[in-house]
């Protein structure tokens, strides 16, 4: 049994840091383990242009711990009115690494999202020409679509024609949750990749629903059947460069999760790499973790691999029951439970 693993420092290719007072905790947690992170733009109001992204980045930078080199990689929020001029400005800025598309109403703060990908094909053509990746929340939100089928329907109705129309467009299907998504990404051209969250590797919909509704497992896209979980584990541990780490760590105040209309999102950034290590350990694939966590994301984005390493050891510790979140508290995934791997740094050695 392997009790220690050293890997190149990982990056997070999909994270929600939120804004304002919440940044004090979320930035610290992300910077603690990751060298870089793709920052989601679904604030209120959303980050739709270079100026807003620059201002948001400055707010993030003020919370990076002293001596830490964490780099936030900024994105823009794609809307029906995002113009070619906006895309060219993003490219010229040198600070925008991708553009994120949310179907309108699909998830937190997505009401300004895209109502029709087909209607913005000229904008997407410009992105393809300039080499700006499109990050997709791949769900259809029509009321006639079952919540467990949203991702499959999106692939069939929108993603297949999109990739056929723009074969040179770099596309990341974010936080995939289904076997159909795994199969699509595997079979697509090399410009198509996917991120996978740790909650979708560790859990399935039984964990969300059996014995009562467990709101801190609720995220979107929602946890699926175990057959889909198994497909995701297979993809993450396959050593395919098409699949890489994206936590989709998405904090909400505890009272907003534990309510009659609980918010979607799991907070994992506080122990993300430890949780991923646990998932890969369960799959007897610790030797595949470095590729998934540290190599394949930079390769897809055309960025250098990090030049330092981190070490994790097999050691049980108890996840906190809550963490500060601005004026509120956030309940992290696995709150109060045992985590079986520990990242070696000062903050975790105290646990």
The CATH number of the domain where 262 resides is what?
3.20.20.140
The radius of gyration of the chain from alpha carbons, rounded to an integer in Å, stands at 19
Q: Does 258 map to a domain?
A: yes
Q: Does 98 map to a domain?
A: yes
b/e 287-296 (16+ beta carbons within 10 angstroms → b): ebbbbbbbbb
Tens-digit pLDDT profile for the chain (351 aa)? 899 999 999 999 999 999 999 999 999 999 999 999 999 999 999 999 999 999 999 999 999 999 999 999 999 999 999 999 999 999 999 999 999 999 875 555 556 678 888 889 999 999 999 999 999 999 998 899 999 999 999 999 999 999 999 999 999 999 999 999 999 999 999 999 999 999 999 999 999 999 999 999 999 999 999 999 999 999 999 999 999 999 999 999 999 999 998 999 999 999 999 999 999 999 999 999 999 999 999 999 999 999 999 999 999 999 999 999 999 999 999 999 999 999 997 544 333
Residue 67, burial from CB neighbour count under 10 angstroms (0-12, 13-18, 19+): exposed
How many alpha carbons fall within 13 Å on the CB side of residue 231? Answer: 17
Residues 239, 291 contacting (CB under 8 angstroms):
yes
* pTM exceeding 0.75: yes
Which positions make up the binding site for Zn(2+)?
A: 14, 16, 100, 137, 175, 248
CA neighbor of 263 nearest in space, from 224, 229, 222, 225: 222
Cα 318 to Cα 334: distance, rounded to the nearest angstrom:
9
Is 11 in the active site? no
- pLDDT score of 351: 36
Which positions make up the binding site?
A: 14, 16-18, 42, 100, 137, 175, 220, 248, 252, 264
Q: In what order do the strands lie in the sheet with 338-343?
A: 4-8, 309-318, 338-343
Q: Does 340 map to a domain?
A: no
* Overall number of domains in the chain: 1
Cα 176 to Cα 25: distance, rounded to the nearest angstrom:
26
Q: Does 323 map to a domain?
A: no
- pLDDT score of 347: 43
Residues 106, 78 contacting (CB under 8 angstroms):
no
Cα 120 to Cα 140: distance, rounded to the nearest angstrom:
17
Cα 297 to Cα 36: distance, rounded to the nearest angstrom:
10
- pLDDT score of 109: 52
Q: Does 327 map to a domain?
A: no
Asked if the bond preceding 221 is cis, omega within 30° of 0, the reply is yes
- The token pair that represents 233 in the structure block: 């584990």
* DSSP H stretches of helix in the chain: 23-33, 50-61, 84-93, 121-130, 150-154, 160-165, 179-187, 198-202, 205-209, 226-236, 254-257, 272-282, 289-290, 296-301, 346-349
- The token pair that represents 323 in the structure block: 């963490």
Q: Does 274 map to a domain?
A: yes
Which positions make up the binding site for substrate?
A: 16-18, 42, 137, 220, 252, 264
Q: Does 199 map to a domain?
A: yes
Choosing from 11, 248, 308, 350, the catalytic residue is 248
Q: Token pair 């506080």 is at which residue?
A: 270
The domain of 170 spans 11-307
CA neighbor of 253 nearest in space, from 55, 42, 25: 25
Q: Does 328 map to a domain?
A: no
Entry field: residues in the chain: 351
Cα 330 to Cα 170: distance, rounded to the nearest angstrom:
34
């Amino acid at each position: 049994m392997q009790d220690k693993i050293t890997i190149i420092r990982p990056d997070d290719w999909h994270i929600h840091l939120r804004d304002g007072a919440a940044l004090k905790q979320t930035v610290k947690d992300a910077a603690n383990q990751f060298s870089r992170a793709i920052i989601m733009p679904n604030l209120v109001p959303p980050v739709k242009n270079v100026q807003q992204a620059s201002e948001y980045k400055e707010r993030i930078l003020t919370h990076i711990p002293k001596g830490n080199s964490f780099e936030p990689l900024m994105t823009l929020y794609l809307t029906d009115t995002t113009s070619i001029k906006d895309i060219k400005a993003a490219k010229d800025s040198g600070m925008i690494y991708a553009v994120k598309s949310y179907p309108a109403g699909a998830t937190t703060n997505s009401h300004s999202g895209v109502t029709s990908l087909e209607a913005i094909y000229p904008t997407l053509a410009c992105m393809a020409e300039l080499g700006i990746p499109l990050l997709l929340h791949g769900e259809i939100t029509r009321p006639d679509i079952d919540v467990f089928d949203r991702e499959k329907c999106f692939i069939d109705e929108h993603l297949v024609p999109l990739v056929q129309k723009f074969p040179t467009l770099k596309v990341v299907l974010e936080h995939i949750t289904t076997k159909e998504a795994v199969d699509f990404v595997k079979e697509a051209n090399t410009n198509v990749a996917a991120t996978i969250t740790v909650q979708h590797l560790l859990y399935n919909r039984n964990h969300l629903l059996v014995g009562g509704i467990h709101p801190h497992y609720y995220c979107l896209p929602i946890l699926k059947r175990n057959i889909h979980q198994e497909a995701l584990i297979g993809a993450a541990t396959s050593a395919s460069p098409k699949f890489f780490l994206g936590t989709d760590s998405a904090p909400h105040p505890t009272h907003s999760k534990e309510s009659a209309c609980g918010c979607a999102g799991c907070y994992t950034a506080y122990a993300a790499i430890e949780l991923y290590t646990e998932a890969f350990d369960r799959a007897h694939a610790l030797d595949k973790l470095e590729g998934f966590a540290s190599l394949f994301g930079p390769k897809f984005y055309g960025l250098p691999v990090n030049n330092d390493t981190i070490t994790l050891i097999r050691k049980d510790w108890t996840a906190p029951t809550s963490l500060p979140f601005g004026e509120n508290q956030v309940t992290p995934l696995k709150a109060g439970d045992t985590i079986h791997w520990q990242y070696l740094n000062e903050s975790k050695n105290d646990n």
